[in-house]
Amino acid sequence: MATTSSLVPRVKLFGVPYSVCTSRVIMCLLEKQVEYDLQLVDIVTTQDHKKSEFLKLQPFGMIPILQDKDFSIFESRAIIRYIARKHEGQGTPLYGTSNKDKAMVDQWMEVEAQNYNPAIAPAVWNLVHAPLFGQHGDPVVANASIEKLEKVLDVYEGVLSQSKYLAGDFFSLADLSHLPFNHYLIHEGKRGDIFDKRPHVNAWWKSISSRPTWKKHLSVAFPGKKFD
């Protein structure tokens, strides 16, 4: 569905579709119905993200980067805020509809960034990604990280027993931010058990991961694979 004039250049997203942070941005673009061009960055073989051309745009040498005409922005959580704000009038209202909604979305985005992410990232790295990068995954570190994550999920269980989504009864950037790491932990790390045993967290996960936009992204990022 074309929502922008063919004369307006599409935004460029530098990254890879299976990357956690790139996925966050792709999901946001899909929800907001914003057309984009994905520019693949070879982070495995030629390590393009460490080359000077890339570092000029992203000095930390990490994907993704979003380019909107002559404007460039990095850090996936900043990018999705930018997209959601710029395209407020179309697609899913990912910031809710009131200033109070928006405050709650920012709060739960920070919960993800400062509480959830530090607990889940080491587990996914050690269980799933380390071997892909030729490194050894440490199960002890993974388990310690999962223990931390379970404490966070206990809080989520309480919150999600009061509201359908994190920031309220609407799907938002806050829920969206959790999709990629959860997907990896459950489907590749095989630790869906920690979600299964928390009924409200489980229902929330089932709801957000069955969104057509997420399914569409998975079919592109992991072609041919099926995820229940």
**Part in contact with other proteins (CB under 8 A); list of ranges 29-37, 97-105, 176-184, 186-194:** 97-105
| d(C-alpha 29, C-alpha 35), whole Å | 7
Which of positions 146-175 make contact with other proteins (CB under 8 A)?
A: 155, 158-159
Residue placing its CB nearer to other proteins in the complex, 115 or 192 = 115
Q: Please report whether residue 102 would count as binding other proteins according to CB under 8 A.
A: yes
The only residue of 50, 100, 206, 216 in contact with other proteins, by rule CB under 8 A: 100
Both tokens assigned to 78: 């900043």
Residue 136: CB atoms within 10 Å: 7
Q: Under a CB-based contact definition with an 8 Å cutoff, are residues 173 and 109 in contact?
A: yes
DSSP percent split of the chain into helix, strand, coil, nearest 5: 55, 10, 35
Instruction: In angstroms, give the least distance from the CB of 113 to other proteins.
Output: 6
How far is Cα 77 from Cα 9, in angstroms, rounded to an integer? Answer: 23
| Integer-rounded Cα radius of gyration of the chain | 18
Classify residue 59 by its DSSP letter. Answer: T
Total chain residues near other proteins (CB under 8 A):
29
Taking CB under 8 A as the criterion, the residue among 1, 45, 71, 134 binding other proteins is 71
- 215 counts as binding other proteins under rule CB under 8 A: no
Query: Taking a C-beta distance cutoff of 8 angstroms, is the pair 107, 166 a contact?
Result: no
Residue 52 near other proteins by CB under 8 A: no
Would you tell me which residues interact with other proteins (CB under 8 A)? 59-60, 71, 73-75, 77-78, 81-82, 85-86, 99-100, 102-104, 106-107, 109-111, 113-115, 118, 155, 158-159
